[in-house]
Amino acid sequence: MKGRGVLGLAALCTLLMASSFAAQAQAKSLKDQLAGTWTLVSQADIKKDGTKVAHFGANPVGLLIFDKKGHFSLMLVRADLPKFAGKSVGAGTADEYKAVMQGMVAQFGTYSVSDADKSFTTHVEGSWFPNLVGGNQKRTIGKLTADELTYQNATAATGESVEVVWKRAQ
């Protein structure tokens, strides 16, 4: 075989291998794509008129973890929560406790995924808000890449629809 033919064959093989790897990456299930640890970028309540309000302030912090066995843990916190004057969790005032309840979300449980409608549903086993325990919340995925996850939760505890943006933890 002549030099150009060998180079052409090598180029073709390389192209075929690259497209095979790309196809395998695209074939990953939604559950496999979600698995891992995510850090909060933003969260916004979506009002009935479509306006977005940053419920947890301008710089919220949070962590969302999906394991491959179907468990999740989620925590969102206002970065500007006031410290308790009493210096201990048992010495808070009514206003301090209220600020904490309104300035965070914490829950864990199991999750399931629907590849068909690009969504996942959490089953809450424990929560900072006891009314959620035993219930399910469906979240519709708007964007999912290797590094970014955006979803909407139409049944959030705030009573509003919520849009949340995460980035994969490094």
Over residues 61-94, the pLDDT tens digits come to 999 999 999 999 999 999 999 899 998 999 999 9
Write out the two tokens for 127: 């929560």
In the chain, which stretches have pLDDT less than 70?
1-26
Coil, strand or helix at 58: coil
**Backbone phi, psi, residue 157, to 5°:** -65, -20
- pTM across the whole model: 0.80
**Across-strand partners of 43?**
164
- Any residues with CB less than 8 A from the CB of 60 and at least 6 apart, and which? 40, 42, 43, 54, 76, 77, 78, 79
**Domain boundary assignment for the chain:** 1-28, 35-168
CATH number for region 35-168 = 2.40.128.280
- State the pLDDT at residue 1: 55
**Direct distance between the N- and C-terminal alpha carbons of the chain, in angstroms, rounded to an integer:** 47
